[in-house]
Structure formats: C-alpha cells, structure tokens
Amino acid sequence: MAAAERLVVIGGDAAGMSAASQARRLKGPDELEIVAFERGHFTSYSACGIPYWVGGAVQDRDDLIARTPEEHRARNISLRVRTEVTAIDVAGGRVRSRDLESGAESWTGFDKLVVATGARPVRPALPGIDAPGVHGVQTLDDGQALIDTLERTKGRHAVVVGAGYIGVEMAEALVGRGYEVTVLNRGEQPMSTLDPDMGRLVHDAMNGMGITTVSGAEVTKILTGDDGRVRAVATDGETYPADVVVLGIGVEPETALAREAGLPVGSSGGLVTDLSMRVAGHENIWAGGDCVEVLDLVSGRRRHIALGTHANKHGQVIGSNVGGGYATFPGVVGTAVSKVCDLEIARTGLREKDARAEGLRFVTATIESTSRAGYYPGASPMTVKMTAERRTGRLLGVQIVGREGAGKRVDIAAVALTARMTVEQMTALDLGYAPPFSPVWDPVLVAARKAVTAVRKGGA
C-alpha cells in the first residue's frame, strides 16, 4: 500500500536528515513516505568536525557520521546518495534528480518538500583556483579529498586563505599535520566576526603559536608547477610557497536550485522562511540549515549564518511541523565559538559595526580577567569585551578571547541577549562560583560592571 503522503528532502546532512528523522518519529511509513536525496557519499555528518579529522584529533572519518545512509534506511527513510537534485518543479510538485554514477535522470513527486541544500565555500575567480591541491572543506567528501592530498604530497608549506572560523581551525589542523602554515587574510585582522581590537588579540596569539598570520593580504593568483599542481600563492604583497592551499574564505548559501524554482531568496542570499521554517509563500515547502537566512534577534535583521547547531534545530522544527506537530525557530543572537590550538575565541550579538549599521549608539567595556580564581592552578588569562546600548544599557554583544575555560562563557551572554537584559541586570547574575571554575567575580560580571559605568557616563 502506498503511503498517504510523500515527503522529499533535498540534502542529506544536518538540517535535511534531522527533519526527515523527526518527521519519521511522528508519522509511520504508511502515513508518510520519505525520500531523501544527497549529492555526496555521506549523510548526517558533522561538517564542523572536519578540521579535527584533518588535524588528526579525530582518527576516523566515520566518527563524524552520526547516522549512515543504511541507518536512515533502517528507519524507513528512502535515501539516495550520490544523487543530485537538478530541478524543483514547484507547480508540478516534483523534483528531477540525476544519479551521479549512472547519469540517469528521473522525476519524483512530492506532497511536502524540504530544501536543505547547505552552503558552498566561496571560491574567488582567481587564476589557478581550480588547480589540484586547492581545497575547500565544506563536505566530508571535501575533507577526504584534502586528506588524500596531504597524504600523497607530504609537503611542508600550507597556505590557508581566509582567517574566519574555518580558516583558523584549518590552520590548527595543518599545524597538527606538521605543516608550516601561513594564513592569508584580506581584512585588517583575522576573525572578522570580531571587532578589530579583539581580532588583533587573535592575530598576535596565532603568530605566537608559529602560524604566520598575514592581514591585509589580497590573494591575486594561485601559482602552479609543471605538473599543474599548486606551488605558491601570490598576493598583492609577497608570494608564499604552498604545497597545499585550503580555502577558508567563508561560505555562501547553495540556492541555485531554489532560485531557479522561483523560491524567495533574501538580501543575505539565503532562502526566506517564516518562523516555522516554511518557505515564504509556499504551503508545503520548508527550508533549513546553511541555505536559509535566519532572524537575528538582537538587530532584527535577517542574516545568513552557516552553523551545524542551527541546522539541527531547523531540522527538528521542520520535522515537527511536517509530522503534524508544531514548532518554531525564533532566531539567533549570533553566538559562535572556536579555537585555534589553545586559543579560544567566542562572540555573540552585534559587533561595533553591526550596531552602528542599525543606528544604535553604544558603549564598550573591555576587561582582562582569568578563567579560574587567580591563585588556582591553570587560571588562564582572558579578555572580555562587552557592548551595551547607550542610555538603555541593553546588552548588545560580547566577545571573548582567552585560553582554556574562556570560550563557553559566551553562553552567559547568549542567554542574556535572548532575554534582552541590560548590563546592569547582568551584574547581579548568580553565576557558578568556586575557585577552580571562576574568580569570585566571573569575567563576564566584571565586564558587565565596567559596561554599567560606561553606560552611566554616556559616550560613543
């Protein structure tokens, strides 16, 4: 007996397969048939874990896979890997797909559709960008290709282009592989998701670790050898030898398919959904993960943020709604945490330039403290920068650069932003205190106190 309805999912990673799994929990196979298409070989894997696999901290690729195609199939999800969806026929309620092995194309009808096509790494149109040895690291297939290159070439010099999260994590990974690593960064500082003063701390720390970090470097050309493989990276300044190049410039939502089908794309480049993750104007189409834009609860603006934790939440929400339940994704506050070797980097909320762009006036407070009581072994320095709206004192953002124990403190600010707290309210927060865990005034509280003083004085 055919199921009453068919759900088609495009994209077999976090958002798509979370949606499929959650829908399956709520509806059995005779109520809902689920067909999922994945272009690559793998499903439900942690793309965020790729740098740690490349670097060797994670030994086995399969450790990154939460659920294999076989495991999904065992849950009555019809999963087609190495099968690319090439068209969405919205009016006809069907998608066209191509088997990447055989080249065969076919149409599959849907009653409900989930678009979870993810993001793709930005590849600037530079001479040599497609040379062997130049790698993106967005998918598990990408990671495998990079590892194959590393193992085959056994080079000495690695260049990472871009110094955002992926860039710094890949720098750590390549250091772990024994490479001499140069990070080329177009902007004023690494980590453009931080304010420049905090990015400067990252810059200095990375150079201190032996990672050559060059800011203000515009890559002009990828130079290749006689064998056609990458040899060096030329910038508007120097040229850097490279046996391997990793692109960590950032990602952009993969929306070509959806655009062609007429689905709405916002100014961020991501698909536009409502709070239930349904594509605006389409009753039976949902979208989630790295291909959509999300509401930034602090600025009220829609942004594109590619992050596994959001993708999983989107999938959960979509699956609940597809399965006849009710759930929403209210938005984000822009939290991110990362590390490069033992340096922890975290941020949430608005940067100064974001606040300025929204017409907000603000004050900032930057403090130095330690992750544990100063006298406790392992207490490590950390810098916390806090931004608050002038007059109202509403928290606008927090950035943290430090060592062990620094990064996850950003969660305090993430919850406070969600609750729209003022920095004055934050000074009274009852945070966990014991000498192995925190100074008697948690660094976030110290920053809040200083921000209160700044708000009282006015300024900015």
Which residues are marked as active site? 48
Q: Which H or E element spans position 197?
A: helix 196-208
Task: Check binding of 46 to a second copy (CB under 8 A).
Answer: yes
Residue 271, C-beta contacts closer than 8 angstroms, at least 6 positions apart = 115, 253, 255, 258, 263, 264, 265, 279, 287, 291, 292, 293
- Judged by CB under 8 A, which of 9, 64, 202, 234 binds a second copy? 64
Task: Check binding of 418 to a second copy (CB under 8 A).
Answer: yes
Q: What is the per-residue binding string for a second copy in 6-45, x denoting contact by CB under 8 A?
A: --------x-------------------------------
**Other CB atoms within 10 Å distance of the CB of residue 401:** 26
Task: Check binding of 412 to a second copy (CB under 8 A).
Answer: yes
Task: Check binding of 281 to a second copy (CB under 8 A).
Answer: no
Give the nearest distance from C-beta 153 to a second copy in angstroms.
26
Are 241 and 157 in contact, with CB atoms under 8 Å apart? yes
Task: Check binding of 145 to a second copy (CB under 8 A).
Answer: no
Are 52 and 173 in contact, with CB atoms under 8 Å apart? yes
Task: Check binding of 434 to a second copy (CB under 8 A).
Answer: yes
- The residues pairing with 182 across neighbouring beta strands, listed in sequence order, are 159, 212
Task: Check binding of 405 to a second copy (CB under 8 A).
Answer: yes
Query: In this structure, what is the dihedral angle of CA atoms 430, 432, 437, 443, given to the nearest 10 degrees?
Result: -20
- Buried residues in 375-388 as b, exposed as e (16+ CB within 10 A): eeeebeebbbbbbb
Amino acid at 294: V
Q: Which is nearer to a second copy, 126 or 295 (CB)?
A: 295
Task: Check binding of 365 to a second copy (CB under 8 A).
Answer: no
User: How far, in Å, CA of 217 to CA of 121, rounded?
Assistant: 19
Q: Which residues, 221 to 260, sit near a second copy by CB under 8 A?
A: none
User: How far, in Å, CA of 30 to CA of 4, rounded?
Assistant: 7
DSSP 95-136: EEEEETTT--EEEEE-SEEEE---EEE-----TTTTSTTEE-
- Judged by CB under 8 A, which of 42, 52, 110, 286 binds a second copy? 52
Task: Check binding of 99 to a second copy (CB under 8 A).
Answer: no
Task: Check binding of 121 to a second copy (CB under 8 A).
Answer: no
How many positions of this chain bind a second copy (CB under 8 A)? 65
Q: Which residues, 150 to 189, sit near a second copy by CB under 8 A?
A: 165, 169
Task: Check binding of 204 to a second copy (CB under 8 A).
Answer: no
User: Which residues contribute to the site for a second copy (CB under 8 A)?
Assistant: 14, 46, 48-49, 52, 57-58, 63-64, 165, 169, 307-310, 312-313, 328-339, 344, 346, 348, 373, 375-377, 405, 407-412, 414-416, 418-419, 421, 425, 427-438, 440-442
